[in-house]
């Protein structure tokens, strides 16, 4: 199994026919304009979408009861964004699986780099696959 893609955007919409539309895709940074005078600059609350694509080897089987944990790390702070279950029977025979995760609100405490990780846990809650620092985004404030 491989993590092929981690995209960060403003919104992920479910379309007819199982398609997903990503709105407001970010590159490698989120840049905030200057804060109006007298207003507190931080923290900022955002709605962020995370689109993750996993690919599987032909003979690869995902264990029954597998869950995922998606989290971020900023400095020493580590925060879980989402936790969910893989529906293993629905993934049987597929080459790809997409995870669409919405975080609302996503709290940004200040400028810096945010690193994202994905962990796959077996039925006992033990990590069997880790995608540490699967992606990152830089937070900036213009003055």
Q: What percent of the chain is predicted at pLDDT more than 70? A: 97
Report CA torsion sign: 139, 137, 119, 48: positive
Domains of the chain, by residue range, sit at 2-28+42-141
Domain 2-28+42-141 part of CATH 1.25.40 = no
88: pLDDT confidence band, cut at 50, 70 and 90? Answer: low
pLDDT digits (tens, 9 = 90+) for 13-54: 999 998 999 999 999 999 998 888 767 789 999 999 999 999
- Give the global pTM: 0.90
CA distance 84 to 105: 18
Say which residues have a Cβ less than 8 Å from residue 69's Cβ, sequence separation at least 6: 80, 82, 83, 118, 119, 121
Q: What is the 3-state secondary structure (H, E, C) of 23-37?
A: ECCCCCEEEECCCCC
Asked if 93 contacts 58 with a C-beta cutoff of 8 angstroms, the reply is no
pLDDT digits (tens, 9 = 90+) for 49-72: 999 999 988 777 788 889 999 999
């Amino acid at each position: 199994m491989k993590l092929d893609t981690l995209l960060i955007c403003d919104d992920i919409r479910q379309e007819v026919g199982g398609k997903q539309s990503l709105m407001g895709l970010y590159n490698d940074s989120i840049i905030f304009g200057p804060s109006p005078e007298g207003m507190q600059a931080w923290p900022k609350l955002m709605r962020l979408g995370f689109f993750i694509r996993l690919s599987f080897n032909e003979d690869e089987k995902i264990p029954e009861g597998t869950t995922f944990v998606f989290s971020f790390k900023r400095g020493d702070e580590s925060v879980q964004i989402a936790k969910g279950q893989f529906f293993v029977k629905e993934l049987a025979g597929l080459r790809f699986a997409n995870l669409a995760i919405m975080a609302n609100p996503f709290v940004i405490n200040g400028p810096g780099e945010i690193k994202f990780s994905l962990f796959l846990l077996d039925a006992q809650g033990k990590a069997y696959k880790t995608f540490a620092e699967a992606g990152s985004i830089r937070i900036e404030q213009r003055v």
